């Protein structure tokens, strides 16, 4: 049996890493990082604690992030404001990541393939969504004694939901990519930039 305690230099690695993070970043950067991983509403105090800053500073930066659309606010039970990452900001981040790694032509091809696969799911199961499939399966199980013969694997429902989500991200990326191309092609030289 080993009753030895760790050496002092390893006693609080988390604190050392936290101090380094605090020294190398601004409160705004830390708050943005914390809220980027916050999907359930939390108080400014909780964000401040995780971001190693004062609640007043956290509130100020959270309100700025809310104005930018990165954070969503909701009223708390005690009347305070709760904060979480906005779903829209996640979509934009995912779309930007897709555009960074996939060409527009390849994206169009993948979108078409995903649409075809969704059509196959609808055709195969005779419903329009994985939620409808799950409801039908539950209703069938309730009305029959025992397990239904054609029970759907839960993995199939998960795959259908994931496919639908991925298609939404791909469509958002394509829309953003097309908007960027439109803006770039619409730029005209100003009188100052035209050589004389």
Q: C-alpha 196: how far from its chain's center?
A: 49
Token couple for 173: 């990326």
Rounded distance between C-alpha atoms, residue 14 and residue 36, angstroms: 20
Q: CA 57, 14, 22, 93 torsion: positive or negative?
A: negative
pLDDT, greater one: 14 or 9:
14
pLDDT digits 0-9 by tens, 75-85: 988 888 999 99
Return the bridge partners of 43, or none: 82
pLDDT in tens, 23-74: 899 999 999 999 999 889 999 999 999 999 999 999 999 999 999 999 999 9
Residue 148 has what pLDDT? 47
Residue 17, pLDDT score: 81
What pLDDT is attached to residue 58? 95
In whole angstroms, give the CA distance from residue 100 to residue 51.
29
Local confidence band at 193 (pLDDT 50, 70, 90 cut-offs): very low
Judge contact between 167 and 111, C-beta under 8 A: yes
In tens, the pLDDT along 169-183 reads 999 899 888 776 655
> Could you give the 3-state DSSP secondary structure of residue 72?
strand
């Amino acid at each position: 049996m080993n009753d030895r305690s760790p050496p002092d230099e390893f006693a609080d690695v988390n604190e050392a890493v936290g101090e380094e993070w605090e020294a190398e970043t601004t409160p705004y950067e830390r708050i943005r990082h914390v809220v980027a991983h916050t999907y359930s509403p939390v108080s400014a105090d909780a964000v401040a604690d995780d971001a190693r800053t004062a609640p007043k500073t956290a509130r100020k930066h959270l309100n700025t992030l809310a104005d930018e659309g990165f954070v969503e606010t909701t009223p708390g039970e005690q009347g305070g404001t709760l904060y979480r990452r906005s779903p829209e900001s996640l979509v934009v981040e995912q779309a930007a990541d897709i555009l960074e790694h996939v060409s527009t032509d390849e994206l169009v091809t993948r979108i078409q393939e995903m649409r075809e696969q969704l059509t196959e799911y609808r055709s195969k199961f005779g419903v329009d969504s994985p939620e409808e499939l799950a409801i039908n399966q539950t209703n069938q199980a309730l009305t029959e004694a025992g397990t239904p013969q054609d029970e759907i694997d839960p993995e199939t429902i998960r795959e259908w939901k994931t496919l639908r989500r991925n298609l939404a991200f791909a469509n958002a990326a394509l829309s953003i990519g097309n908007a960027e191309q439109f803006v770039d092609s619409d730029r005209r030289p100003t009188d100052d930039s035209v050589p004389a």
